[in-house]
């Protein structure tokens, strides 16, 4: 193990990105911080397993991810839009100015499957390489690349973007959640 | 209820997902999504870290104190 002071300093430095990664998986800040808290407790309990000189960020992200999916399996929690709030929100967007409101983006992002949220966050926001993301997710680099592409397509679809990245006017869009009602 | 018709192309693969290799995300989509991802990520990353999380790390100090 590294010297405790240096190890702790590195942990503190990584906390903001660990929280941001947790927020991309969990659905609220309290749940995300619980996830980070559990991750830290697990990391400290297993600190002797961490090899100095290896990637601490990947190690922590992997612990967090594994814990998240473990909890998800236990709770069998499914993300859904049962009350149609998300569909309604997209349907009533007042202006189409060629940009995407960040809050709308967050809502759309939250509708993605967890494995799509995690790869987009790792590769698109946290600065992980495809190789590092593959290490964290425990899969092949090619799998990460194709998953990222599918996630982007899905997100663009949820945001109602056309091929030029422009929001499609609501009267011409399919509101999938209500189409079968 | 009458369904609204999309102007977008229908899904292309057999699974119905429509996001296969034959239809990669456009550069415009990538840029827009990446920009918003970084904004959302940056918002959280710039928040102050809750004390309860920092307190957990203080156990490293106390463990070291016990050793020495």
Q: Chain B closest CA to A137's CA: distance in Å? A: 19
- How many C-beta neighbours within 10 Å does residue A162 have? 17
- What is the rounded CA–CA span in Å between residue B7 and residue B4? 10
| pLDDT given at position A164 | 60
Residue A95 forms contact with B (CB below 8 Å): no
Chain B positions in Cβ-Cβ contact with residue A124 (cut-off 8 Å) = 33-34, 37-38
- Interchain contact, A179 vs B4, CB within 8 Å: yes
Longest CA–CA separation in chain B, Å: 74
- Interchain contact, B64 vs A4, CB within 8 Å: yes
Residue B46's closest chain A neighbor by CA? A16
Q: List the one residue out of A106, A135, A125 whose CA is nearest residue A21.
A: A125
Q: What are the φ and ψ backbone dihedral angles of A67, each rounded to 5 degrees?
A: -65, -40
| pLDDT given at position A27 | 75
| pLDDT given at position A5 | 76
Report ipTM (2 d.p.).
0.73
pLDDT tens per residue, range B18-33: 444 445 668 888 899 9
Q: Give how far the C-alpha of residue B48 lies from the chain's centroid of Cα atoms, to the nearest Å.
A: 19
Q: List the one residue out of A158, A165, A155, A130 whose CA is nearest residue A144.
A: A130
Residue A6's pLDDT band, with cuts at 50, 70 and 90, is confident
Q: Given A7, A126, A168, which is nearest B41 (Cβ)?
A: A126
Q: Given B40, B54, B59, which is nearest A102 (Cβ)?
A: B40
């Amino acid at each position: 193990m590294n010297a405790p002071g240096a190890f702790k300093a590195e942990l503190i430095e990584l906390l903001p990105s660990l929280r941001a990664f947790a927020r991309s998986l969990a659905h609220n800040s309290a749940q995300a911080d619980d996830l980070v808290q559990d991750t830290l407790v697990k990391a400290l309990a297993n600190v002797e397993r961490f090899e100095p000189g290896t990637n601490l960020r990947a190690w922590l992200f992997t612990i967090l991810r594994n814990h998240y999916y473990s909890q998800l399996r236990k709770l069998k929690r499914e993300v859904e839009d049962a009350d149609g709030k998300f569909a309604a929100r997209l349907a009533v967007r007042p202006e189409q100015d060629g940009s995407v409101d960040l809050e709308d983006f967050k809502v759309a992002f939250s509708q993605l499957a967890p494995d799509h949220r995690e790869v987009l966050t790792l590769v698109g926001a946290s600065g992980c390489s495809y190789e590092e993301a593959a290490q964290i997710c425990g899969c092949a680099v090619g799998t990460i690349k194709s998953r990222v592409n599918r996630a982007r397509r899905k997100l663009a679809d949820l945001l109602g973007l056309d091929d030029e990245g422009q929001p499609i006017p609501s009267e011409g869009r399919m509101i999938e959640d209500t189409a079968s009602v | 209820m009458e369904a609204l018709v999309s102007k977008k192309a229908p899904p292309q693969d057999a699974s119905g997902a429509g996001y296969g290799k034959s239809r990669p995300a456009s550069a415009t989509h990538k840029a827009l999504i990446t920009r918003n991802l970084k904004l959302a990520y940056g918002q959280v990353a710039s928040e102050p870290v809750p004390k309860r999380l920092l307190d957990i790390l203080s156990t490293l100090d106390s463990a070291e104190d016990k050793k020495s």
